[in-house]
Amino acid sequence: MKRVESVFLAGPDPWFPDAAAHLARRADLVRAAGLAPITPEAGAGLDEAQRTEVAARLLYADTLAQLRAADSVIANLSPWRGISCDPSTAFQAGFAAALGKPVFAYMNLADEDDAHLRGRVEAMMGAAPAPDGRWRDAEGCEIEDFYLPESIMLWGEARRLFLVVTPEPWSDLTGLEMCLDSLQIYAE
């Protein structure tokens, strides 16, 4: 097993309110665990003139280089602007898994009822069991219902996926701490 010295921190966190302080707290926790944090430059904070296709391509290439260089990934899979996690985070976790890197993940939720993917679909879009017993959303699409907190592919690629019910889903770092503990056990 390759020694784990660095952690790529995937998630929508660079877009959070008070992102700079939040990102600093995350990096401090990673350093306290004896690892080097790698936080992608997401482009948050750029003014409109700087948000070009060229800048986006450069950010994309830089992020892939950082993922390749990282020894592991911790992904914040908390629902972001909808039912599931941030799509960039899903991509980054999948890319890392395809590279054979260990991926650990956490999901912050404001309510325990949100811990099941089908429950979030039902609450946000409407859902009900169809005559065949399969759950379908309000548009008639079948829900990927395996009693998991996320889709099979996101759930399955994580060595561990911790669910944290918290009144502060944007700032609570308990899940990150749990991932760091698991990563240290994995690396032993």
pLDDT digits (tens, 9 = 90+) for 37-83: 999 877 767 788 888 999 899 899 999 999 999 999 999 999 999 99
Which residue ranges make up each domain of the chain?
Answer: 6-111+151-187
Place of tokens 């070009």: 52
Q: For position 188, what pLDDT does the model report? A: 85
pLDDT(27) > 80 = yes
Rounded to an integer, what distance in angstroms lies between the CA atom of residue 93 and that of residue 74?
Answer: 8
Specify the pLDDT at position 1: 61
Q: What amino acid is encoded at 179 in this protein? A: C
- Average pLDDT rounded to a whole number, residues 104-114: 96
175 to each of 20, 117, 130, 132, how far by Cα in Å? 19, 18, 35, 37
Selected residue with higher pLDDT from 5 and 51: 5
For the domain covering 6-111+151-187, report its CATH number.
3.40.50.450
